[in-house]
Amino acid sequence: MSYKEFTEGIGEGKIIGYRCEHCRRFSLKEGRCPFCGSPIMVETEMPRKGRIVARTEISVAPGGFSPPYTVALIELSNGLRIMGVFEGEGEKVEFSEARENSAGIALVFR
Ligand SMILES: [Zn+2]
């Protein structure tokens, strides 16, 4: 999967990643499994729901975001941990949208 395909998936409200055929863990990066090194990774859609593992408030932000906002480490329901922008309250989150800014693409969860 290319960066373009990743962003197109995001544009359709999907988070596209990979599942390792060996250890069954998940990654957003193409290539070998970051956990066991297996080269067999199958493209798959990630769940939209997860929970917050850690969060921090950002007071100085790149273009496209109005500080302060919250960046969170989110564990999706399949165990994959990703960084995202969190706009909401509580511990349970759902993927909302992707926002592009000068720093790249941010996944927004609510
Ligand atoms: Zn693996």
CATH assignment at residue 64: 2.40.50.840
Ligand 1 centre to CA of 27 (Å) is 9
**What are the angstrom distances between the C-alpha of 46 and each of 12, 61, 66?**
13, 27, 28
The total number of structural domains that make up the chain: 2
Same domain, 58 and 109: yes
Give ∠ CA 36-38-41 in degrees, rounded to 5: 115
Q: Quick one: 36 and 53 in the same domain?
A: no
Distance 70 CA to ligand 1 centre (A): 31
Confidence of residue 63 (pLDDT cuts 50, 70, 90): low
Q: Is the pTM of this model over 0.85?
A: no
Per-residue pLDDT, averaged over 55-70, amounts to 82
Residue-level pLDDT at 14: 87
Residue 58's pLDDT band, with cuts at 50, 70 and 90, is: confident
Query: Residue 103 Cα, ligand 1 centroid: separation in angstroms?
Result: 30
Distance 41 CA to ligand 1 centre (A): 8
* 31 and 58 belong to one structural domain: no
Give me the domain span that covers residue 31: 1-46
Do residues 52 and 40 share a domain? no
